[in-house]
C-alpha cells in the first residue's frame, strides 16, 4: 500500500520530510511578526505558567479520559459542573451517581491527589524533552530522541504510535523507518502532545520550535501526525510573546503544509468562529465530522487539533474557560486539556493563573522519566529557562 501512487483527485499535499514540509508551507516565510522577548522575570513567570498550565489541564481531563459524551456530560450536569468550570471532584459524587455510571472513585480526581499523579504521557514527554535537550543540546537528532526513549522511558509508559516506534527502535530500526514499520497509529495524537517543550525554549522563535518538533515527531509519526507537533510547538513559541490568540494560531499554521488536512481542519474551526458560531455549535460540528466511538477518530491528530483550536478561540485567553472547553468536548480529554493549558499558561504566566488550578497538585509532578520522578515545577521552569538560546 505504501508504494501505491496517490490517487489523482487527492487534494492534499502532505510530505513527511522537513525540507518538503517547509516547501509546502509558503506562509512560513510570511508568518506573523511577533513582539520582542519580554524581560527575564516576565519570561520566567510565563515558563512557570506553561508547566503549571500543562499539568493542570492534564489533571482536569485525566480522570475522564476515554469517557464519551453520553457519560461525561450527565456526570458534569449531576455534579453542578455544567458548563464545565472546574475540576471534577470525588466528593461531588453521590452513591446513586457512582452506581449509575460505574464510577471508580480511586481515580486521580483533584481531591484525591497531593501531586500530579499517576504518571501520564502528556507530562512524561514534556519532562523527557527537558532531559533530551539538557543531555544532547538544542541540535539533538531523531536518533538522539530514539536513544533517549529506550534509555529513560519504560516501555509500558508508551502508547499507540510511541509503543510501535519503541518496539521498532529496540529491534534496531532507525528513524524515520521507526515511524512507518507496522505502525497504524502514525497520524494519531501522540506527537501532538510532545511538542510543548520545544515552544517553551524558543520564545518568539516558532520556526526553530517547529523544526525541533519535527526531529522529535519523525521517529514515530508521518504527515498530519508530524504536523500536529509542529503546530503546537510553534503556537507555544508565539504565545510566549504574543497576547492575541488568533495571531498565535496563525503562527502555528505557518509551519504546517498549506494544503494538508490539518490546515484545512483547523481553518474550518476558525471559519466557524468567524461566522459567529458558539462554542456549543462548534463542538457539535466536531462531533459531526468525527465519531468519538471510532478509536481512530477519537485519537486522531486532526480531530483533537480542532478541539484545541476551538478552546483557544472560544476561551478568549482565559485559563479556566479554555481548559474546561477542551475537556468538556470529549475525545482525548487529558491531551487536549494539557495542550490548551500549555498555550494559555505560557501566554498568561503563573501570575495569570488562579491558584485554584495548581492547589491540588501543590506544584509537584510525578513522572516515569529516569531521574525525574517527583519533581518541583519551579525547578522545572528554572531548568527550562537555562536552555533558552543565549
Q: pLDDT tens digit string along 92-122?
A: 999 999 999 999 999 999 999 999 989 999 9
Say what the alpha-carbon torsion angle 226, 229, 233, 238 is, to the nearest 10 degrees: 80
Residue 282, pLDDT > 90, answer yes
SS3 state at 57 = helix
Residue 141 lies in a domain: yes
Amino acid 8: pLDDT: 92
Residue 275, pLDDT > 80, answer yes
Amino acid 204: pLDDT: 97
Cα–Cα nearest to 56, from 130, 3, 105, 120: 120
Residue 371 lies in a domain: yes
**CATH number, residue 130:** 1.10.4080.10
Tally the domains of the chain.
1
The range of the structural domain enclosing residue 175 comes to 36-96+107-385
Percent of the chain with pLDDT over 70: 100
Q: pLDDT tens digit string along 55-77?
A: 999 999 999 999 999 999 999 99
Residue 270, pLDDT > 80, answer yes
Amino acid 54: pLDDT: 98
Residue 27 lies in a domain: no
pTM to 2 decimal places: 0.97
Residue 6 lies in a domain: no
Mark residue 158 as left, alpha or beta (left: phi above 0; alpha: psi -120 to 50; beta: remaining): beta
Residue 21 lies in a domain: no
Residue 377 lies in a domain: yes
Residue 29, pLDDT > 80, answer no
What is the average per-residue pLDDT within 180-204? 98
Using pLDDT thresholds of 50, 70 and 90, give the confidence band for residue 33.
confident
Residue 9 lies in a domain: no
Residue 375, pLDDT > 80, answer yes
Residue 217 lies in a domain: yes
Cell numbers linked to 224: 498530519
Amino acid at each position: 500500500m505504501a508504494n501505491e501512487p496517490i490517487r489523482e483527485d487527492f487534494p492534499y499535499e502532505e510530505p513527511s520530510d522537513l525540507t518538503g514540509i517547509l516547501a509546502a508551507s509558503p506562509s512560513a516565510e510570511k508568518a506573523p511578526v511577533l513582539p520582542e522577548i519580554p524581560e527575564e522575570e516576565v519570561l520566567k513567570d510565563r515558563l512557570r505558567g506553561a508547566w503549571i498550565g500543562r499539568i493542570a489541564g492534564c489533571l482536569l481531563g485525566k480522570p475522564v479520559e476515554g469517557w464519551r459524551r453520553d457519560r461525561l456530560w450527565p456526570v458534569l450536569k449531576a455534579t453542578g459542573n455544567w458548563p464545565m468550570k472546574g475540576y471534577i471532584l470525588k466528593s461531588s459524587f453521590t452513591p446513586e451517581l457512582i452506581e449509575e455510571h460505574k464510577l471508580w472513585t480511586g481515580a486521580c480526581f483533584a481531591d484525591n491527589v497531593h501531586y500530579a499523579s499517576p504518571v501520564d504521557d502528556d507530562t512524561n514527554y514534556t519532562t523527557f524533552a527537558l532531559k533530551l535537550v539538557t543531555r544532547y543540546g538544542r541540535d539533538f537528532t531523531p536518533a538522539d530522541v530514539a536513544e533517549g526513549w529506550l534509555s529513560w522511558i519504560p516501555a509500558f509508559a508508551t502508547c499507540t504510535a510511541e509503543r510501535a516506534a519503541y518496539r521498532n527502535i529496540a529491534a534496531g530500526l532507525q528513524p524515520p523507518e521507526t515511524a512507518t514499520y507496522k505502525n497504524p497509529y502514525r497520524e494519531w495524537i501522540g506527537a501532538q502532545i510532545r511538542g510543548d517543550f520545544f515552544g517553551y525554549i524558543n520564545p518568539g522563535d516558532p520556526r526553530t520550535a517547529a523544526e525541533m518538533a519535527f526531529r522529535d515527531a519523525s521517529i514515530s509519526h508521518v504527515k498530519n501526525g508530524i504536523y500536529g507537533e509542529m503546530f503546537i510547538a510553534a503556537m507555544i513559541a508565539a504565545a510566549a510573546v504574543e497576547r492575541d490568540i488568533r495571531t498565535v494560531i496563525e503562527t502555528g499554521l505557518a509551519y504546517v503544509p498549506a494544503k494538508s488536512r490539518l490546515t484545512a481542519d483547523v481553518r474550518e474551526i476558525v471559519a466557524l468562529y468567524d461566522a459567529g458560531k458558539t462554542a456549543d455549535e462548534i463542538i457539535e460540528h466536531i462531533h459531526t465530522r468525527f465519531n468519538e466511538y471510532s478509536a481512530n477518530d477519537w485519537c486522531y491528530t486532526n480531530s483533537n487539533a480542532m478541539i484545541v483550536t476551538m478552546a483557544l478561540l472560544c476561551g478568549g485567553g482565559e485559563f479556566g474557560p479554555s481548559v474546561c472547553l477542551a475537556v468538556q468536548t470529549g475525545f482525548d480529554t487529558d491531551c487536549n486539556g494539557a495542550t490548551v493549558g500549555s498555550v494559555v499558561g505560557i501566554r498568561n504566566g503563573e501570575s495569570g493563573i488562579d491558584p485554584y488550578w495548581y492547589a491540588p497538585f501543590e506544584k509537584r509532578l510525578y513522572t516515569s522519566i529516569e531521574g525525574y520522578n517527583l519533581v518541583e515545577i519551579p525547578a522545572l521552569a528554572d531548568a527550562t529557562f537555562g536552555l533558552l538560546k543565549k
